[in-house]
A and B are shown apart, each in its own frame.
Chain A
Amino acid sequence: MDSRKEIVTMAKQIKPQIIIDSGTSYSKVYHLSSRAYEVIPSNRIKELTADYSVAAATGHNANRLSGYVVNELIALAKGAESYIKDEDTYTVVDCGSRDIKYISVSQGVATMDWNAECGAFCGQIVELLQRHFQCNPNSIQPADRPLSLTCGILGMTRMFDLIADDCDPDYAFARFMKGLADNVHAFAKKPDVLYISGGLCDNPLFLRSFDSVQVIPLGRFVLVDGLRMMIGENDSQ
């Protein structure tokens, strides 16, 4: 190893360490020294990695961040284990900005799916629509019927058509969210209880748009906590 590489390696070793679930829109970060969590936009990830060394990473941007990369669904499965301790049958779905994935465990047997193309981009579109129409998901009532969503983009087109037909934008958005909730439930094979991970856990309208299912939000850090388990840093759970 030449001297410059040695210096870089040493600098990396003395940098504080983080682990990251780096998604398309947001990166969920856990600081190993302070045990603090934070969420930053993924387009700012370079600023963070200038000051920190990434001990482990998952998510779309993981490969360029760390030498230890874990598949997102594996991180989700491991993370779910740390949250759902007393059940041997459960389904957890991660609603990201770009895709939706779930793992279902029934007495030790796991099934999974990952909706990456048609049906995807809903999370990102939700944020875009909220911003554009200044919708407040805390105050909008869930819709009585869904908008049929093939994917986020086509769903947005249908929502624009509704508004062009003089539908109130808040109601059109509520129908979009109900369509998304119905899609997520159907995609996860319609369990009676559905654990949800990801940024949409912070969206009350989304959580209230489900029918005939008990929805339990686990928050945005399930995959990060899965990574913590995988590197043996899980004692504080």
Chain B
Amino acid sequence: MRLITSLDELNPVINRMRALKKPLTLGFTGVPPEPILREAIAVSSKVVDLDMPAGHDISVAETIIPKISCATLRTIASNALLYKDLDWIILSAGYDKCDGGRFLGMQLQKVLSIPVLLTENRSLERRGNPICESGLPLLEKMERIVNGLISDTLSGDIKKTDPAFGFWGVPPNDFSVLELFPDNTHIFGWARCMENRTPSDTELEELVDPAIPTIFFAQAFCPKNILAYRLASQYNGLYVEVDSRVDHSIKAKIEAFLWIHGKKL
């Protein structure tokens, strides 16, 4: 398996894609190295974040990965198999993602007839996290962080607020869970690393504000559950594990935690 981490390694593929002389659709996952993603976006007319649910039948993923893979991996797999106009894919597959991302990438290289490039982002240069600490609704914060990889989402009125709650974790597969939280909820965990463009930054990923009640979220079947579980125990927070859909019990559990810590229901 070869991980592409520099523009020099990317350029031969870029040249091949340009030679196709057609509008290109790029699919990507995770937070690829900034120069690589920027260059790939520059030669593509359409960019699709394969981590995000797109209304495809997620069970299609089971043709290439087990049912007990996390919802994010199943979403990537089903998107990659069902987006018919994809011309090439840049897939995070190193220390910045997970073993599952790497094995899925290797699998997609075998089953797809388009170039699937595996990358790794080890950058530790934090760019700051104004969205994570803003007073925007939590759902909008997360959308801006995710969309910020391909467009500028820092415009508008982004003011830092004092936090009432913390949300730790990755962008959830089901964003509706984020609607339960008050606006002055700060984001921690890998989503914070995402805004900083440092997806391998484990020190930042473990950062928590011990003064605020925090919900530690992880997708079911993801190894990040180990970290979420430990941090929730350490900081007396609430550990929440969710598969693809946030059901009634999970929402009620989060509501109760917020209520105990002072949010009016």
Write the residues of chain A forming the contact surface with B, with a CB cutoff of 8 angstroms: 60, 71-74, 77, 98-99, 101, 103, 110-114, 116-118, 120
Query: A117 to B238, alpha carbons, bound, how many Å?
Result: 14
Contact of B255 among A71, A111, A116 (CB under 8 A): A71
Contact of B256 among A60, A112, A117 (CB under 8 A): A112
Cβ contacts A to B, 18 pairs, < 8 Å: A71-B255, A73-B252, A73-B256, A74-B256, A99-B249, A101-B253, A111-B236, A112-B257, A112-B260, A113-B239, A113-B253, A114-B252, A114-B253, A114-B256, A116-B250, A117-B220, A117-B243, A120-B249
Query: A118 to B239, alpha carbons, bound, how many Å?
Result: 13
Closest chain A CB from B251 CB (angstroms): 9
Check if B247 is an interface residue, CB within 8 A of chain A.
Answer: yes
Are A116 and B249 touching (Cβ within 8 A)?
yes
Closest chain A CB from B241 CB (angstroms): 6
Question: Among residues 224 to 260 in chain B, which have CB atoms less than 8 Å away from a CB atom of chain A?
Answer: 236, 238-239, 241-243, 247-250, 252-253, 255-257, 259-260
Closest chain A CB from B22 CB (angstroms): 45
B111 contact set on A, CB distance < 8 A: none
Query: A114 to B260, alpha carbons, bound, how many Å?
Result: 13
Are A71 and B248 touching (Cβ within 8 A)?
no
Output the nearest chain B residue to A75 by Cβ-Cβ distance. B256
Check if B20 is an interface residue, CB within 8 A of chain A.
Answer: no
Interface centre among A60, A113, A116 (most CB of B within 10 A): A116
B249 contact set on A, CB distance < 8 A: 60, 98-99, 114, 116-117, 120
Interface size class of B (residues with CB under 8 A): 10 to 19
Write the residues of chain B forming the contact surface with A, with a CB cutoff of 8 angstroms: 220, 236, 238-239, 241-243, 247-250, 252-253, 255-257, 259-260, 265
Closest 6 CB pairs of A and B: A116-B249, A73-B256, A114-B253, A110-B260, A71-B255, A71-B256
Are B253 and A74 touching (Cβ within 8 A)?
no
Closest chain A CB from B196 CB (angstroms): 30
B260 contact set on A, CB distance < 8 A: 77, 103, 110-112
Query: A99 to B249, alpha carbons, bound, how many Å?
Result: 8
Closest chain A CB from B213 CB (angstroms): 10
A73 contact set on B, CB distance < 8 A: 252-253, 256, 259
B248 contact set on A, CB distance < 8 A: 60
Output the nearest chain A residue to B253 by Cβ-Cβ distance. A114
Contact of A71 among B236, B247, B259 (CB under 8 A): B259
A72 contact set on B, CB distance < 8 A: 252, 256
Output the nearest chain B residue to A60 by Cβ-Cβ distance. B248
